[in-house]
Chain A
Amino acid sequence: MMSKLAIILIIFLGAAALIASSAAYTVEEGTQVILTQFGNPVKSVPDAGLHFKTPFIQEAHHLEKRLLPWDGASESMQTKDKKRINIDVWARWRIVDPMTFFIKVRTEQQGQKILDNLVDSAIQNVVARHNLIDVVRKSNDELIYETEELERTEADRVLGQGRDDVEKEILAGVDLEEYGMELVRVRIKRVNYVASVREAVYKRMISERLRIARLFESEAQEDKNRIVGQTQKELDQIEGEMEQRSAEIRGEANAKVIQLTAEAYSRSPEFFEFLRRLEVFKTALGTDTRLILSTESDLLRLLKNPNASPLPSDQ
Chain B
Amino acid sequence: MREVSDSNRLILHEEFRKMSSRKGFSNRRGGFGDRDDLDWDAAARWGRSGFFLLPILALLMAGWSSVYRIEASDEGVVLRFGKQVTTVPPGLHVKLPWPIDTVYEVPVQRIQTLEFGFETQRPGRVTQYAPKSEGDLAVAEMLTGDLNLGHVEWIVQYRVKDPLEFLFKVGNTEPIIGKALRPEGGSNVNPAVPDTIRDVSESVMRKLVGDSSIDYVLTIGREQIAEQAETLIQEELDSFEAGVDIDTVKLQTTSPPTEAVQDAFQEVNRARQKKEQVVNEALGERNSIIPAARGAKDQAIAEAEGYQNRVVLETKGEINAFLAQLTEYEKAPEVTRQRLYLEAMEEILSQTGEKIIIDDSVGGLVPLLDLNRRAAPSPQNRGTTSSQQNRGERP
Q: How large is the interface on B (under 10, 10 to 19, 20 to 34, 35 or more residues)?
A: 35 or more
A216 touches B307 (CB 8 A): no
- Return A178 CB to nearest CB of chain B, in Å: 20
B311 touches A257 (CB 8 A): yes
Closest to A298 in B: B341
Q: Is A84 an interface residue (CB 8 A)?
A: no
What is the interface of chain A mostly: helix, strand, loop, or mixed? helix
Q: Is A306 an interface residue (CB 8 A)?
A: no
B219 touches A146 (CB 8 A): yes
Stretch at the interface among A96-104, A117-125, A136-144, A169-177: A136-144
Closest to A49 in B: B83
Given the contacts A7-B31, A205-B264, A48 and B83 also touching, CB distance less than 8 Å: yes
Tell me how many residues of A have a C-beta within 8 Å of chain B: 141
B24 touches A10 (CB 8 A): yes
Report the Cα distance A293→B375, complex, angstroms: 13
Given the contacts A64-B173, A300-B357, A231 and B285 also touching, CB distance less than 8 Å: yes
CB neighbours (8 Å) of B278 from chain A are 220-221, 223-224
Residue from the set A4, A66, A208 with the largest chain B CB neighbour count within 10 Å: A66
Report the Cα distance A241→B294, complex, angstroms: 10
* Residue from the list B202, B281, B304, B357 in contact with A293, Cβ < 8 A: B357
Q: Tell me the A221-241 residues at the B interface (CB within 8 Å).
A: 221, 223-224, 227-228, 230-231, 234-235, 238-239, 241
Q: Is B9 an interface residue (CB 8 A)?
A: no
CB neighbours (8 Å) of A205 from chain B are 148-149, 214, 256-257, 261, 264
B351 touches A136 (CB 8 A): no
CB neighbours (8 Å) of A261 from chain B are 315, 318-319
Q: Is B172 an interface residue (CB 8 A)?
A: yes
**Pairs A-B, 8 closest by C-beta atoms:** A66-B171, A28-B82, A246-B304, A50-B81, A253-B308, A30-B168, A216-B271, A242-B297
* Residue from the list A191, A220, A275, A286 in contact with B143, Cβ < 8 A: A191
Residues of B within 8 A of A (CB): 24, 27-28, 31, 40, 43-44, 47, 79-84, 138-139, 141-149, 164, 167-173, 176-178, 180-181, 192, 195-196, 199-200, 202-203, 206-207, 210-216, 218-221, 236, 239-241, 256-258, 260-261, 263-265, 267-268, 270-272, 274-275, 278-279, 281-283, 285-286, 289-290, 293-294, 296-297, 300-301, 303-305, 307-308, 311-312, 315-316, 318-319, 322-323, 325-326, 329-330, 333-334, 337-338, 340-341, 344-345, 347-349, 351-360, 368, 375, 378, 380, 382-383, 390-391, 393-395
CB neighbours (8 Å) of B221 from chain A are 144
- Return A285 CB to nearest CB of chain B, in Å: 5
CB neighbours (8 Å) of B311 from chain A are 253-254, 256-257
Supply 15 A–B pairs (Cβ within 8 Å), ascending by A: A107-B176, A132-B147, A143-B213, A146-B220, A202-B260, A238-B294, A239-B297, A245-B297, A253-B307, A275-B325, A280-B394, A281-B344, A281-B390, A287-B353, A294-B383
A49 touches B322 (CB 8 A): no
CB neighbours (8 Å) of B307 from chain A are 249-250, 253
Report the Cα distance A107→B333, complex, angstroms: 146
* Residue from the list A146, A193, A228, A291 in contact with B285, Cβ < 8 A: A228
* Residue from the list A3, A254, A295 in contact with B357, Cβ < 8 A: A295
Q: Is A11 an interface residue (CB 8 A)?
A: yes
What is the interface of chain B mostly: helix, strand, loop, or mixed? helix
Closest to A295 in B: B359
Report the Cα distance A47→B82, complex, angstroms: 10
A290 touches B375 (CB 8 A): yes
Report the Cα distance A107→B180, complex, angstroms: 13
Report the Cα distance A184→B192, complex, angstroms: 16
- Return A196 CB to nearest CB of chain B, in Å: 14
- Return B323 CB to nearest CB of chain A, in Å: 6
